[in-house]
Each structure stands twice: as C-alpha cells, then as structure tokens.
C-alpha cells in the first residue's frame, strides 16, 4: 500500500477543554504545514469541540481531504429520544467523514456488546461514513491464547450481516486492531504479534467477503508513539495507526504521521 493510503488517526478521547483543543489543533496544523506528511490524517476530538476544531481548520485553509474529522462514537439509532447520544447526521453537520466504533473503552467501560456494535457499524456504513471498527483482546484473553478467537467473533458479529454495504466499496471500512492491554499502558504489542494478528484479520476479512484479497485498511493502536511508529508502520498489513496519548502532543503526533 503506498504512503498516501496510510491513515494516522488522533483519538483525543475525553481530554482537554476548549482552549487546549484549539491550541492543539493550531499546533498540529502548524507542524503539518511544515512536515507535509504523505499519510491521510484524521482528528477525532471530543464531540463538543468538533465545531471549534473545524473552524480552526477552515481558518488555516486546510481542506478536509488533508486533515479529516471524525466522531469518537455514534448512537446506534439514527434519530429520536435517546438522551445524550449523537447521530451520524449531527456528526456530518461538523464535516465528520469518519466514525470510530467499538473502541475498547466503549466495549469495556461502557459495556457495549457485539449487538450494539453491529448496529452502529451498520448505521455508519449505510450513511456512507468511513467506518473504523475497533477489535482487540483483553490481557486475560491474550494470556489464554484466545486473541484470534475473540477477533474473529468481533469481526463476524459486526460485519457479516452488512456484507451488501461493504462489498461495493471496501474503502469505507477500516479495522483498528487494539489489544486492550496495550492501550494507554506504554507497552505496545510486539512486532511479531502485530504481524501475526494483522495477517489473521486480513485472512478473516477475505473469508467474510468471499474474496482472495482485499484492500481494507488495518490500523494498529495501543501505545504507538514517535519512537516505535516507524517500525510498527513498516510491518506488512499495517496500513496506519490509531493514536491516543501521543496524539495530545502535536510534535509527537506529526512525527508519527511523518514517519512513513
């Protein structure tokens, strides 16, 4: 896959405030203009600051094709009486073209199950959003050698019934492999494990799609930083990264974007 097709996504999670979000995007844009990374860059700010971040991108004349915006989670319903939830249409109002679905913090802290994640994935794909589906095992599952079994279940439950939406346009689906134990721990998965699991995800996607090959992007996430990014991003079947902690530092983030 050529460098232009790599995707580096910044997941700011529930960090910062309005002032710090504006400062962070301003600094990212400044460094982006200097470094001119070849990768696709995506920012997933806290939803309440999407408008503010979008305004800064417009102010700095950065087209959405260069730095895209995405929403960290979406409602499983398209519209209606669902207090606190945000719809795909609302995200679109702020020019979001990506939706992150099934992040491990949604699965484990907010107890989202496979059924909810299936609904969100389907709705996002139906709405023609670029849909990043996160999968990954817990440390307990890893130690019990259950990684592939868990990932197969997560992929199949989220995707099997949406084949009609995925088959015509593979590029709308992106998978992020994030071992739960590697997220925010400072300890990323070993290069060997990343190669092995990404290869397994590729093969499983082929089986699900009934194809011999596919070009669905597979991102790695979990303690990626400016030091380990070059080696992780050069692995086969790694088509980008989902960055949490290091994306809150503009220099580290742009260094990661520039490392391939």
Catalytic residue at 178? yes
Catalytic residue at 140? no
Cα–Cα distance measured from residue 86 to residue 12, given in angstroms and rounded to the nearest whole number: 17
Closest to ligand PGA by CB, 116 or 223: 223
Stretch that binds ligand PGA, among 28-36, 82-90, 203-211, 238-246 (CB under 6 A): 238-246
Q: Shortest Cβ distance from residue 87 to ligand PGA (Å)?
A: 23
- Considering only 178, 197, 229, 255, the residue that binds ligand PGA (CB under 6 A) is 178
Closest to ligand PGA by CB, 37 or 244: 244
- Considering only 10, 11, 112, 118, the residue that binds ligand PGA (CB under 6 A) is 11
Residue nearest ligand PGA, Cβ-based: 244
Q: Is 45 in the site for ligand PGA (CB under 6 A)?
A: no
Q: Is 16 in the site for ligand PGA (CB under 6 A)?
A: no
Q: CB–CB of 21/47 below 8 Å?
A: no
Hey, what long-range contacts does 163-170 have (CB within 8 A, 24 or more apart)? 163/208, 163/209, 165/122, 165/125, 165/126, 166/125, 166/209, 167/209, 170/209, 170/214, 170/215, 170/216
Cα–Cα distance measured from residue 96 to residue 54, given in angstroms and rounded to the nearest whole number: 9
Cα–Cα distance measured from residue 87 to residue 76, given in angstroms and rounded to the nearest whole number: 8
Contact pattern for ligand PGA over residues 208 through 237, marking x by CB under 6 A: -------------xxxx-------------
Closest to ligand PGA by CB, 71 or 224: 224
Q: Can you say whether residue 208 is alpha, beta or left, with left for phi > 0 and alpha for psi between -120 and 50 degrees?
A: alpha
Alpha helices in the chain (DSSP H): 18-35, 50-59, 88-93, 104-108, 114-126, 139-143, 147-159, 163-166, 191-209, 229-233, 250-257
Stretch that binds ligand PGA, among 66-74, 138-146, 232-240, 243-251 (CB under 6 A): 243-251
Q: Shortest Cβ distance from residue 222 to ligand PGA (Å)?
A: 5
- Considering only 67, 243, 256, 260, the residue that binds ligand PGA (CB under 6 A) is 243
From 112, 137, 178, 198, the catalytic residue: 178
Cα dist. 168→39, 72, 99, 163, 231 in Å? 24, 25, 19, 9, 33
Stretch that binds ligand PGA, among 31-39, 164-172, 176-184, 226-234 (CB under 6 A): 176-184
Nearest-CA neighbor of 216 among 228, 227, 201, 231?
A: 201
Q: Is 183 in the site for ligand PGA (CB under 6 A)?
A: yes
Q: Is 46 in the site for ligand PGA (CB under 6 A)?
A: no
Catalytic site positions? 103, 178
Residue numbers of the site for ligand PGA (CB under 6 A)? 11, 178, 183-184, 221-224, 242-246
């Amino acid at each position: 896959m050529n460098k232009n097709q790599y995707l580096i996504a910044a997941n700011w999670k529930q960090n910062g405030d309005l002032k710090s979000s504006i400062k962070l995007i301003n600094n990212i844009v400044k460094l982006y203009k200097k470094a001119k990374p070849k990768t696709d860059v995506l920012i997933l700010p806290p939803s309440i600051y999407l408008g503010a971040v979008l305004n800064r991108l417009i102010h700095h004349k950065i087209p959405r094709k260069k730095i895209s915006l995405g929403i960290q989670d979406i409602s499983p319903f398209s519209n209606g009486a669902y207090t606190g939830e945000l719809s795909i249409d609302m995200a679109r109002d702020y020019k979001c073209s990506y939706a992150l679905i099934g992040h491990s913090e949604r699965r484990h802290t907010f107890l989202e199950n496979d059924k909810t994640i299936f609904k969100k994935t389907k709705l996002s794909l139906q709405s023609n959003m670029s849909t990043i589906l996160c999968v990954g095992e817990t440390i307990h599952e890893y130690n019990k050698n259950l990684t592939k079994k868990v990932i197969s279940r997560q992929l199949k439950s989220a995707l099997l019934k949406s084949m009609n939406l995925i088959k015509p346009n593979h590029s709308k689906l992106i998978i992020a492999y994030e071992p739960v134990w590697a997220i925010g721990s400072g300890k990323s998965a070993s290069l060997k494990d990343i190669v092995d699991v990404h290869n397994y995800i590729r093969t499983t996607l082929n089986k699900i799609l009934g194809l011999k090959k596919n070009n669905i992007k597979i991102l790695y996430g979990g303690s990626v930083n400016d030091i380990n990014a070059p080696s992780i991003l050069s692995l086969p079947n790694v088509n980008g990264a989902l960055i949490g902690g290091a994306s809150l530092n503009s220099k580290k983030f742009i260094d990661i974007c520039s490392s391939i």
